[in-house]
Amino acid sequence: MSTVDRLRPLHDAMIEWRRDFHAHPETAYEEHRTSERIATLLAGWGIEVHRGLGGTGVIGSLCTGDGPSLGLRADMDALHIHEVAEVAHRSRTPGKMHACGHDGHCAMLLGAARHLAETRDFRGTVRFIFQPAEENEAGALRMIEDGLFDRFPVDSVYGLHNWPDAPEGVIGVRAGPVMASFDVFEAVVVGRGAHAAMPHLGIDPIHVAAQIVAAWQGVVARAVDPLESAVVSVTQFHAGDTWNVIPDRAMLRGTARAFRAEVRGDLEHRLRRLGEGICAAAGASLDWTYDRRYPATVNHARETEVARRVAADLLGAERVIAEMPPSMGSEDFAFMLQARPGCYLRLGTGNGGGNCLLHNAAYDFNDRVLPIGAAYWVALVESEMPA
Protein backbone atom coordinates (compact mmCIF):
# COMPACT_ATOMS: atom_id res chain seq x y z
CA MET A 1 0.00 0.00 0.00
CA SER A 2 1.37 3.45 -0.84
CA THR A 3 2.12 5.84 1.99
CA VAL A 4 -0.56 8.24 0.71
CA ASP A 5 -3.09 5.38 0.86
CA ARG A 6 -1.95 4.55 4.40
CA LEU A 7 -2.90 8.10 5.42
CA ARG A 8 -6.32 8.09 3.73
CA PRO A 9 -8.13 6.60 6.75
CA LEU A 10 -7.16 9.82 8.58
CA HIS A 11 -8.50 12.11 5.83
CA ASP A 12 -11.83 12.80 7.55
CA ALA A 13 -10.12 13.54 10.86
CA MET A 14 -7.66 15.91 9.16
CA ILE A 15 -10.53 17.72 7.42
CA GLU A 16 -12.28 18.14 10.77
CA TRP A 17 -9.14 19.55 12.46
CA ARG A 18 -8.39 21.81 9.48
CA ARG A 19 -11.89 23.27 9.33
CA ASP A 20 -12.00 23.69 13.10
CA PHE A 21 -8.76 25.71 12.98
CA HIS A 22 -10.14 27.62 10.00
CA ALA A 23 -13.33 28.56 11.86
CA HIS A 24 -11.29 29.76 14.88
CA PRO A 25 -8.35 31.73 13.47
CA GLU A 26 -5.84 33.25 15.90
CA THR A 27 -3.09 35.72 14.98
CA ALA A 28 0.49 36.06 16.20
CA TYR A 29 1.17 34.83 19.75
CA GLU A 30 -2.54 34.50 20.47
CA GLU A 31 -2.84 30.91 19.21
CA HIS A 32 -4.19 29.72 22.60
CA ARG A 33 -7.16 27.69 21.39
CA THR A 34 -5.22 26.26 18.45
CA SER A 35 -2.23 25.20 20.57
CA GLU A 36 -4.53 23.77 23.26
CA ARG A 37 -6.30 21.55 20.72
CA ILE A 38 -3.00 20.46 19.15
CA ALA A 39 -1.44 19.65 22.54
CA THR A 40 -4.52 17.67 23.62
CA LEU A 41 -4.53 15.63 20.42
CA LEU A 42 -0.80 14.86 20.58
CA ALA A 43 -0.97 13.85 24.25
CA GLY A 44 -3.97 11.62 23.51
CA TRP A 45 -1.85 9.65 21.06
CA GLY A 46 0.89 9.07 23.65
CA ILE A 47 3.22 11.76 22.32
CA GLU A 48 5.23 13.69 24.91
CA VAL A 49 4.09 17.32 24.78
CA HIS A 50 5.93 20.46 25.82
CA ARG A 51 4.24 23.84 25.71
CA GLY A 52 5.17 27.48 26.14
CA LEU A 53 8.20 27.94 23.88
CA GLY A 54 7.69 31.18 21.98
CA GLY A 55 4.56 31.75 24.06
CA THR A 56 2.03 29.44 22.39
CA GLY A 57 4.46 27.02 20.70
CA VAL A 58 3.86 23.28 21.04
CA ILE A 59 6.48 20.54 20.68
CA GLY A 60 5.54 16.90 20.47
CA SER A 61 8.38 14.39 20.89
CA LEU A 62 7.95 10.80 19.73
CA CYS A 63 10.91 8.55 20.53
CA THR A 64 11.26 4.89 19.58
CA GLY A 65 14.87 4.38 20.67
CA ASP A 66 18.38 5.58 19.90
CA GLY A 67 18.75 7.07 16.45
CA PRO A 68 18.66 10.33 14.56
CA SER A 69 16.26 13.10 15.45
CA LEU A 70 14.17 15.01 12.95
CA GLY A 71 12.21 18.27 13.35
CA LEU A 72 8.99 18.73 11.38
CA ARG A 73 7.47 22.19 11.55
CA ALA A 74 3.98 23.60 11.04
CA ASP A 75 2.84 27.18 11.68
CA MET A 76 -0.38 27.94 13.58
CA ASP A 77 -1.15 31.62 13.02
CA ALA A 78 -3.82 33.32 10.93
CA LEU A 79 -3.90 36.76 9.27
CA HIS A 80 -5.65 40.07 9.86
CA ILE A 81 -7.98 39.65 6.88
CA HIS A 82 -11.77 39.62 6.89
CA GLU A 83 -12.94 36.39 5.25
CA VAL A 84 -15.38 36.73 2.35
CA ALA A 85 -15.90 33.05 1.47
CA GLU A 86 -19.34 31.64 2.28
CA VAL A 87 -18.17 28.22 3.44
CA ALA A 88 -19.69 26.52 6.50
CA HIS A 89 -16.33 26.61 8.30
CA ARG A 90 -15.71 30.30 7.60
CA SER A 91 -13.99 32.38 10.26
CA ARG A 92 -16.05 33.02 13.39
CA THR A 93 -13.74 35.93 14.22
CA PRO A 94 -14.38 39.10 12.22
CA GLY A 95 -11.19 40.54 10.74
CA LYS A 96 -9.13 37.36 11.12
CA MET A 97 -8.82 34.33 8.89
CA HIS A 98 -6.57 31.49 7.79
CA ALA A 99 -5.69 32.99 4.40
CA CYS A 100 -2.24 31.36 4.19
CA GLY A 101 -3.28 27.75 4.74
CA HIS A 102 -1.56 27.34 8.11
CA ASP A 103 -4.74 25.54 9.21
CA GLY A 104 -3.88 22.90 6.61
CA HIS A 105 -0.23 22.77 7.72
CA CYS A 106 -1.32 21.96 11.29
CA ALA A 107 -3.82 19.32 10.14
CA MET A 108 -1.24 17.56 7.93
CA LEU A 109 1.39 17.46 10.69
CA LEU A 110 -1.23 16.18 13.15
CA GLY A 111 -2.20 13.45 10.69
CA ALA A 112 1.44 12.41 10.40
CA ALA A 113 1.88 12.49 14.19
CA ARG A 114 -1.14 10.27 14.77
CA HIS A 115 -0.04 7.77 12.13
CA LEU A 116 3.56 7.63 13.37
CA ALA A 117 2.41 7.28 16.99
CA GLU A 118 0.37 4.24 15.97
CA THR A 119 2.80 2.54 13.63
CA ARG A 120 6.17 3.56 15.16
CA ASP A 121 7.92 2.14 12.13
CA PHE A 122 11.07 4.23 12.59
CA ARG A 123 13.98 4.43 15.00
CA GLY A 124 14.93 7.72 16.65
CA THR A 125 13.10 10.83 17.78
CA VAL A 126 10.62 12.92 15.81
CA ARG A 127 9.90 16.46 17.03
CA PHE A 128 6.58 17.85 15.86
CA ILE A 129 7.10 21.61 16.06
CA PHE A 130 3.97 23.81 16.01
CA GLN A 131 5.12 27.41 15.98
CA PRO A 132 3.28 30.69 16.57
CA ALA A 133 3.48 33.92 14.62
CA GLU A 134 4.99 32.97 11.27
CA GLU A 135 3.42 36.08 9.67
CA ASN A 136 5.69 39.10 10.33
CA GLU A 137 6.30 38.38 14.02
CA ALA A 138 9.11 35.79 13.91
CA GLY A 139 7.61 33.06 16.08
CA ALA A 140 10.30 30.64 14.89
CA LEU A 141 13.02 32.95 16.19
CA ARG A 142 11.27 33.27 19.55
CA MET A 143 11.06 29.49 19.90
CA ILE A 144 14.77 29.20 19.07
CA GLU A 145 15.61 31.94 21.61
CA ASP A 146 13.53 30.02 24.16
CA GLY A 147 15.83 27.02 23.63
CA LEU A 148 13.97 25.02 20.97
CA PHE A 149 16.99 23.23 19.55
CA ASP A 150 18.95 23.11 22.84
CA ARG A 151 16.15 21.45 24.79
CA PHE A 152 14.72 19.46 21.87
CA PRO A 153 17.74 18.68 19.69
CA VAL A 154 17.29 17.74 16.04
CA ASP A 155 19.84 16.71 13.41
CA SER A 156 17.80 18.40 10.70
CA VAL A 157 14.54 20.30 10.33
CA TYR A 158 11.96 20.39 7.55
CA GLY A 159 9.13 22.77 6.69
CA LEU A 160 6.34 22.67 4.13
CA HIS A 161 4.03 25.33 2.70
CA ASN A 162 0.91 24.92 0.58
CA TRP A 163 1.20 26.60 -2.80
CA PRO A 164 -1.94 27.38 -4.85
CA ASP A 165 0.16 28.39 -7.88
CA ALA A 166 1.41 24.82 -8.33
CA PRO A 167 -0.80 21.93 -9.51
CA GLU A 168 -2.66 19.97 -6.84
CA GLY A 169 -0.54 17.31 -5.18
CA VAL A 170 2.76 18.34 -6.79
CA ILE A 171 5.79 18.98 -4.59
CA GLY A 172 8.29 21.72 -5.45
CA VAL A 173 11.79 21.74 -4.01
CA ARG A 174 15.03 23.59 -4.63
CA ALA A 175 18.48 23.88 -3.04
CA GLY A 176 19.80 27.29 -1.98
CA PRO A 177 17.65 30.43 -1.54
CA VAL A 178 13.92 29.76 -1.94
CA MET A 179 12.42 32.77 -0.17
CA ALA A 180 13.85 36.29 0.15
CA SER A 181 14.93 38.28 3.17
CA PHE A 182 12.26 40.66 4.41
CA ASP A 183 13.02 44.09 5.84
CA VAL A 184 10.81 47.13 6.36
CA PHE A 185 11.69 50.81 6.31
CA GLU A 186 10.11 54.11 7.26
CA ALA A 187 11.36 57.42 5.90
CA VAL A 188 9.93 60.69 7.18
CA VAL A 189 10.86 63.65 5.00
CA VAL A 190 10.85 66.74 7.18
CA GLY A 191 10.40 69.93 5.17
CA ARG A 192 8.66 73.20 5.98
CA GLY A 193 4.95 73.80 5.52
CA ALA A 194 3.61 76.72 3.52
CA HIS A 195 0.55 78.10 1.72
CA ALA A 196 0.00 76.10 -1.44
CA ALA A 197 0.01 79.32 -3.44
CA MET A 198 3.45 80.27 -2.10
CA PRO A 199 5.59 77.11 -2.27
CA HIS A 200 8.80 79.18 -2.41
CA LEU A 201 8.25 80.07 1.25
CA GLY A 202 8.41 76.43 2.36
CA ILE A 203 10.21 73.17 1.60
CA ASP A 204 7.66 70.84 0.03
CA PRO A 205 8.15 67.36 1.56
CA ILE A 206 5.74 65.77 -0.94
CA HIS A 207 7.86 66.89 -3.86
CA VAL A 208 11.00 65.63 -2.14
CA ALA A 209 9.44 62.30 -1.13
CA ALA A 210 8.18 61.73 -4.68
CA GLN A 211 11.75 62.10 -5.98
CA ILE A 212 12.95 59.63 -3.34
CA VAL A 213 10.33 57.06 -4.41
CA ALA A 214 11.46 57.39 -8.03
CA ALA A 215 15.18 57.31 -7.16
CA TRP A 216 14.84 54.19 -5.00
CA GLN A 217 13.61 52.18 -7.96
CA GLY A 218 16.96 52.93 -9.56
CA VAL A 219 18.74 51.05 -6.77
CA VAL A 220 17.55 47.66 -7.98
CA ALA A 221 17.87 48.62 -11.66
CA ARG A 222 21.30 50.32 -11.51
CA ALA A 223 23.14 49.34 -8.31
CA VAL A 224 22.35 45.65 -7.81
CA ASP A 225 24.15 43.06 -9.96
CA PRO A 226 21.64 42.15 -12.72
CA LEU A 227 22.25 38.48 -11.94
CA GLU A 228 21.10 38.97 -8.34
CA SER A 229 17.53 39.29 -7.12
CA ALA A 230 16.21 42.23 -5.12
CA VAL A 231 13.00 44.21 -4.82
CA VAL A 232 12.14 47.54 -3.20
CA SER A 233 8.46 48.42 -2.85
CA VAL A 234 7.13 51.64 -1.36
CA THR A 235 3.72 50.65 -0.05
CA GLN A 236 2.67 53.73 1.93
CA PHE A 237 2.92 57.46 1.14
CA HIS A 238 1.21 59.68 3.72
CA ALA A 239 1.24 63.47 3.66
CA GLY A 240 -1.05 66.45 3.97
CA ASP A 241 -4.65 66.97 5.05
CA THR A 242 -6.16 69.45 2.64
CA TRP A 243 -6.00 71.05 -0.82
CA ASN A 244 -4.28 74.35 -0.20
CA VAL A 245 -1.62 73.66 2.41
CA ILE A 246 1.84 72.24 1.82
CA PRO A 247 2.47 70.01 4.86
CA ASP A 248 5.72 70.00 6.77
CA ARG A 249 6.36 66.28 6.50
CA ALA A 250 5.73 63.25 4.32
CA MET A 251 6.09 59.63 5.38
CA LEU A 252 7.10 56.70 3.17
CA ARG A 253 7.00 53.08 4.23
CA GLY A 254 7.84 49.92 2.38
CA THR A 255 9.80 46.72 2.15
CA ALA A 256 13.17 45.63 0.75
CA ARG A 257 13.94 42.01 -0.12
CA ALA A 258 16.88 40.02 -1.46
CA PHE A 259 18.31 36.51 -1.56
CA ARG A 260 21.92 37.21 -0.61
CA ALA A 261 23.08 38.87 2.61
CA GLU A 262 25.46 41.18 0.71
CA VAL A 263 22.64 42.47 -1.48
CA ARG A 264 20.44 42.90 1.57
CA GLY A 265 23.09 45.03 3.27
CA ASP A 266 23.62 47.04 0.10
CA LEU A 267 19.89 47.83 -0.19
CA GLU A 268 19.76 49.09 3.38
CA HIS A 269 22.78 51.31 2.86
CA ARG A 270 21.78 52.72 -0.53
CA LEU A 271 18.14 53.45 0.32
CA ARG A 272 19.23 55.53 3.26
CA ARG A 273 22.00 57.33 1.37
CA LEU A 274 19.71 58.25 -1.53
CA GLY A 275 16.98 59.44 0.83
CA GLU A 276 19.38 61.57 2.86
CA GLY A 277 21.07 62.93 -0.24
CA ILE A 278 17.85 64.01 -1.94
CA CYS A 279 16.61 65.58 1.30
CA ALA A 280 19.88 67.44 1.78
CA ALA A 281 19.79 68.78 -1.78
CA ALA A 282 16.29 70.14 -1.16
CA GLY A 283 17.04 71.58 2.29
CA ALA A 284 14.85 68.95 3.98
CA SER A 285 15.94 66.28 6.45
CA LEU A 286 15.24 62.58 6.76
CA ASP A 287 14.15 60.55 9.80
CA TRP A 288 15.12 57.03 8.81
CA THR A 289 14.21 53.68 10.34
CA TYR A 290 15.23 50.35 8.83
CA ASP A 291 14.09 47.15 10.54
CA ARG A 292 15.64 43.81 9.59
CA ARG A 293 12.88 41.24 9.93
CA TYR A 294 13.56 37.83 8.32
CA PRO A 295 16.72 36.55 6.63
CA ALA A 296 16.47 34.70 3.31
CA THR A 297 15.23 31.10 3.51
CA VAL A 298 18.16 29.01 2.25
CA ASN A 299 17.78 25.26 1.79
CA HIS A 300 20.75 23.02 2.57
CA ALA A 301 22.04 20.80 -0.24
CA ARG A 302 21.95 17.39 1.46
CA GLU A 303 18.54 17.83 3.08
CA THR A 304 17.12 19.20 -0.18
CA GLU A 305 18.25 16.06 -1.95
CA VAL A 306 16.63 13.97 0.82
CA ALA A 307 13.37 15.93 0.47
CA ARG A 308 13.42 15.58 -3.32
CA ARG A 309 14.09 11.83 -3.21
CA VAL A 310 11.38 11.20 -0.59
CA ALA A 311 8.86 13.23 -2.63
CA ALA A 312 9.76 11.38 -5.83
CA ASP A 313 9.43 7.97 -4.13
CA LEU A 314 6.09 9.05 -2.67
CA LEU A 315 4.48 10.68 -5.70
CA GLY A 316 6.58 9.68 -8.71
CA ALA A 317 9.31 11.85 -10.21
CA GLU A 318 6.83 13.44 -12.62
CA ARG A 319 4.97 14.92 -9.60
CA VAL A 320 8.10 16.65 -8.25
CA ILE A 321 9.36 20.01 -9.49
CA ALA A 322 13.07 19.64 -8.72
CA GLU A 323 14.04 23.21 -9.65
CA MET A 324 11.09 25.03 -8.11
CA PRO A 325 11.30 28.77 -8.89
CA PRO A 326 12.16 30.76 -5.75
CA SER A 327 9.84 33.50 -4.45
CA MET A 328 10.53 37.04 -3.24
CA GLY A 329 8.03 36.36 -0.44
CA SER A 330 9.53 35.54 2.94
CA GLU A 331 9.21 32.92 5.64
CA ASP A 332 10.43 32.78 9.22
CA PHE A 333 11.42 29.11 8.81
CA ALA A 334 14.58 30.92 7.59
CA PHE A 335 15.66 31.20 11.25
CA MET A 336 15.37 27.44 11.74
CA LEU A 337 17.46 26.84 8.61
CA GLN A 338 20.13 29.17 10.03
CA ALA A 339 20.20 27.07 13.21
CA ARG A 340 19.98 23.56 11.72
CA PRO A 341 20.38 21.98 8.29
CA GLY A 342 17.10 21.37 6.55
CA CYS A 343 14.76 22.00 3.67
CA TYR A 344 11.59 23.98 3.06
CA LEU A 345 9.37 22.82 0.24
CA ARG A 346 6.04 23.58 -1.35
CA LEU A 347 2.99 21.42 -1.80
CA GLY A 348 0.82 22.42 -4.75
CA THR A 349 -2.88 22.88 -4.00
CA GLY A 350 -3.96 23.92 -7.50
CA ASN A 351 -6.42 26.66 -8.37
CA GLY A 352 -9.49 24.44 -8.58
CA GLY A 353 -12.19 24.02 -5.98
CA GLY A 354 -12.76 27.74 -5.46
CA ASN A 355 -9.14 28.15 -4.43
CA CYS A 356 -7.37 31.45 -5.02
CA LEU A 357 -4.00 32.82 -3.98
CA LEU A 358 -2.45 33.07 -0.52
CA HIS A 359 -3.31 36.11 1.65
CA ASN A 360 -6.57 36.57 -0.27
CA ALA A 361 -9.86 37.13 1.57
CA ALA A 362 -11.45 34.24 -0.38
CA TYR A 363 -8.66 31.72 0.26
CA ASP A 364 -9.52 28.29 1.58
CA PHE A 365 -7.03 25.43 1.92
CA ASN A 366 -7.66 22.57 -0.52
CA ASP A 367 -8.55 19.63 1.73
CA ARG A 368 -7.83 17.11 -1.02
CA VAL A 369 -4.07 17.46 -0.45
CA LEU A 370 -4.20 16.70 3.30
CA PRO A 371 -3.28 12.98 2.93
CA ILE A 372 -0.45 13.88 0.54
CA GLY A 373 1.16 16.38 2.92
CA ALA A 374 0.77 14.03 5.89
CA ALA A 375 2.17 11.14 3.84
CA TYR A 376 5.18 13.25 2.90
CA TRP A 377 6.03 13.74 6.59
CA VAL A 378 5.57 10.02 7.32
CA ALA A 379 7.67 9.01 4.30
CA LEU A 380 10.41 11.45 5.32
CA VAL A 381 10.58 9.99 8.84
CA GLU A 382 10.49 6.36 7.72
CA SER A 383 13.12 7.03 5.05
CA GLU A 384 15.55 9.04 7.18
CA MET A 385 15.10 6.99 10.36
CA PRO A 386 14.71 3.35 9.29
CA ALA A 387 13.58 0.99 12.05
Q: Which is nearer to Ni ion, 78 or 209 (CB)?
A: 78
Q: Of residues 3-22, which lie at the interface with Ni ion (CB under 5 A)?
A: none
Nearest distance from C-beta of residue 77 to Ni ion, angstroms: 9
Contacts with Ni ion, 356-385, as mask; x by CB under 5 A? ------------------------------
Q: Which is nearer to Ni ion, 69 or 91 (CB)?
A: 91
Nearest distance from C-beta of residue 100 to Ni ion, angstroms: 3
Nearest distance from C-beta of residue 299 to Ni ion, angstroms: 17
Nearest distance from C-beta of residue 86 to Ni ion, angstroms: 23
C-alpha dihedral over 80, 85, 86, 89, to 10 degrees?
-60
Q: Which is nearer to Ni ion, 266 or 331 (CB)?
A: 331
Which part of the chain contacts Ni ion (CB under 5 A), choosing from 24-32, 99-107, 163-171, 199-207?
Answer: 99-107
Q: Which is nearer to Ni ion, 100 or 173 (CB)?
A: 100
Q: Which is nearer to Ni ion, 100 or 378 (CB)?
A: 100
Q: Of residues 122-181, which lie at the interface with Ni ion (CB under 5 A)?
A: none
Contacts with Ni ion, 57-96, as mask; x by CB under 5 A? ----------------------------------------
Closest residue to Ni ion: CB criterion: 100
Nearest distance from C-beta of residue 161 to Ni ion, angstroms: 6
Q: Which is nearer to Ni ion, 100 or 166 (CB)?
A: 100
What is the rounded CA–CA span in Å between residue 381 and residue 112? 10
Nearest distance from C-beta of residue 333 to Ni ion, angstroms: 10
Nearest distance from C-beta of residue 75 to Ni ion, angstroms: 6
Nearest distance from C-beta of residue 147 to Ni ion, angstroms: 24
Q: Strand 156-163 relative to strand 342-348: parallel, antiparallel, unpaired? A: parallel
Q: What are the distances in angstroms from CA 170 to CA 8, 245, 332?
A: 17, 56, 23
Please report whether residue 296 would count as binding Ni ion according to CB under 5 A: no
Which part of the chain contacts Ni ion (CB under 5 A), choosing from 30-38, 63-71, 80-88, 98-106?
Answer: 98-106
Nearest distance from C-beta of residue 79 to Ni ion, angstroms: 9
Which residues are bridge partners to 375 per DSSP? Answer: none
Number of residues counted as binding Ni ion (CB under 5 A) = 1
Q: Which is nearer to Ni ion, 98 or 264 (CB)?
A: 98
Q: Tell which one of 74, 76, 100, 310 touches Ni ion (CB under 5 A).
A: 100
Q: Which is nearer to Ni ion, 100 or 334 (CB)?
A: 100
Q: Which stretches of the chain bind Ni ion, using CB under 5 A?
A: 100
